[in-house]
Structure 1
Amino acid sequence: MAEQIEAKHVKKGNYIMVEGNPSIANSNDISRPGKHGHAKCRITATGLIDNKKRVLIAPGELKIDTINIDKRSGQIVSIGDKIIQLMDIATYEMVDTIKAEDFKGDLSEGTNVEYWVMNDKKVIKANAKEK
């Protein structure tokens, strides 16, 4: 299970879930209203998979899920329309992944790449390295 932090404690660079998408926080603007009011947070984040900007407005006490990112290496076995199948170099298990929108590099079968496992999503993020 992912850890949760309060919205008022999110800092730039934290990996969080926004609208069900893994994202990196860009800013957190906190308004502090009067004597009996509660703080409101405006968190701006960028999606790690689709690179879209997302804004979350929430009370400061709202619990937000954080993301644990596991960076692994794999070798491309097959390339489909949307799914790329990898073999994990450490465990030799087959993994279905997608390519991140901001990925730069050529993908071909037999190429070694770095992929990220974020909660239940797997995505190729790092530039391809020739074998």
Structure 2
Amino acid sequence: MAEQPNDAQHEVSFDSADAGASATFPMQCSALRKNGHVVIKGRPCKIVDMSTSKTGKHGHAKVHLTAIDIFTGKKLEDLSPSTHNMDVPNVSRREYQLLDITDDDFLSLMHDDGSTKDDVKVPSGEVGDKINKLFKEEEKDTNVIILTAMGEECAIDAKEAPKGSG
């Protein structure tokens, strides 16, 4: 009977370690740069401002980070000793050709290699309006840029596809 909770606990910690391992990499706080990426409170963020405080009598210099969540646009802040490591998300941008927009507002996208991707929703707001305008109203060949980080992804931009690319 006593074994069961340990197994469950072990499984959970394995999952979280596994999920975070490939999605982020450590970087020393002092090596982070403005416009770079960082993980704050478990969210992938873009650094918009950073400042370093002087060391105290016995302490380390502290780095104050202000960053914007790349998916929600929410502002997050963190304070960390400059010698500590922080997680940096692996962020990728991929451009896909838009094939269709489904009735339930999912983008049907095609990659360069011909594979399709149908699991990204049309975002609300400006980017979603731009996608709909180009694709539905103007009936243009549309490319959508998808940002992926830490197992999340969203459409961040759309543009008219260059002529003669298909």
**TM-score bucket of the superposed structures, by smaller chain:** 0.7 to 0.9
Tell me the CA shift for residue 100 of structure 1: 6.9
**Larger fraction in strand:** 1
Show the counterpart of 2:78.
Answer: 56
For structure 1, the residue ranges without an aligned partner over 5 or more in a row are none
**Distance change (3 Å), C-alpha of 1:80 and 1:116:** farther
Assess if the C-alpha contact under 8 Å between 1:8 and 1:60 holds in 2: yes
What TM-score does the superposition give when structure 2 sets the normalisation length? 0.64
Residues 1:29 and 2:60 aligned together: no
Taking structure 1 as the reference length, the TM-score comes to: 0.78
Task: Point out the structure with max Rg over C-alpha.
Answer: 2
Question: Could you tell me which residue of structure 1 aligns to residue 156 of structure 2?
Answer: 125
Distance 2:86 2:47 in 1: 12
C-alpha spacing 1:79/1:60, structure 2 compared with 1 (3 Å): farther
In percent, how many aligned pairs have the same letter?
19
Task: Give CA deviations for 1:76-122 in whole Å, capped at 9, x if unaligned.
Answer: 533466x6233232231324124276626132577431212223111
The 5 A counterparts of 1:22-101 are: 22-74=44-96, 75-79=98-102, 84-91=106-113, 92-98=115-121, 99=123
**SS of residue paired to 2:71:** coil
If each structure's helix is expressed as a fraction of its own residues, which one has the higher value?
Answer: 2
How many equivalent pairs are there?
Answer: 130
What residue number does 2:130 align with?
Answer: 105
What CA distance in whole angstroms lies between the structure 2 residues aligned with 1:85 and 1:52?
24
RMSD across aligned C-alpha pairs, in angstroms? 2.7
Equivalent positions of 1:11-30 (< 5 A) are 11-30=33-52
Q: Which amino acid in 1 is paired with 2:92?
A: D
Q: CA–CA distance in 2 between the matches of 1:128 and 1:32?
A: 45
Say if 1:76 and 1:84, in contact at 8 Å, map to a contact too: no
Unaligned runs of 5+ in 2: 1-21
